[in-house]
Chain A
């Protein structure tokens, strides 16, 4: 059974760094890519970046200077780190499995709600 689960702090102070973990089960990180997508309250979905099966990454240019995605294959975990957080980064953050054929996000985590506030 394919599962993804995000974890991390619910509250981050402005200018600080956000660290989130996506723990996956039911599939291997060497067989599927994993994307991060965020959704501000009441708004739409924004793709943040992806870590490919080979370990390389690609980022949304709007976030590239602040964002880093990495993984630990042995622990089946994908990590998101984003620095210099501002209030507009308040959102629910999702990790999603991406199929290698047509790069469709076929399984999603439940999401981690992050509030940026002092």
Chain B
């Protein structure tokens, strides 16, 4: 199985940039796609797709969210961070079965 590793938590100030990383145990990229996706989850809510294929913004997601990376290293950036962005962020790969998720990064206010 592909293991995705995320830092458990990140403290950030409102208005600043937050960078959340996700490292895969093996490449999740094909010749055409980077099959890494990012989700936001707030307490008591279902996950919400933010970024697909590493860098594509999902529908209705604000432009302060962006994603980058390929192969095994991926990054979700929020700039600037707003109060509504306080949540847990998960990366997920669809390169291979089983689909796997990172352990989640909890974004906290500094």
Contacts and interface: CB of A to CB of B under 8 A. Distances in A.
B90 A108 contact: no
Given A44-B90, A44-B104, A102-B35, A108 B98 contact: no
A47 B91 CA distance: 13
Given A44-B104, A47-B100, A61-B98, A108 B46 contact: yes
Contacts of B103: 44
Interface string B2-15: 00000000000000
Contact of B46 (A47, A99, A102, A111): A111
Contacts of B92: 45, 105
A110 interface: yes
Interface residues of A, number: 23
Interface string A58-69: 101100000000
Interface in B41-90: 45-49, 52-53, 58, 90
Of residues B37, B90, B98, which shows the largest number of chain A Cβ atoms within 10 Å of its Cβ?
Answer: B98
B94 A106 contact: no
A45 B101 contact: yes
Question: Does more than half of chain B's interface fall in helix, strand or loop, or is it mixed?
Answer: loop
Interface string A89-118: 000001010010011111111110000000
A4 B109 CA distance: 32
A50 to B, nearest CB: 8
A37 B103 CA distance: 14
Given A44-B90, A45-B90, A94-B46, A102 B52 contact: yes
Interface string A33-61: 00101000000111100100000001011
Contact of B98 (A47, A94, A104): A47
Contact of B94 (A60, A61, A103, A110): A103
Q: 7 closest pairs, A vs B, by CB? A: A103-B94, A47-B99, A108-B46, A104-B52, A45-B101, A60-B98, A104-B37
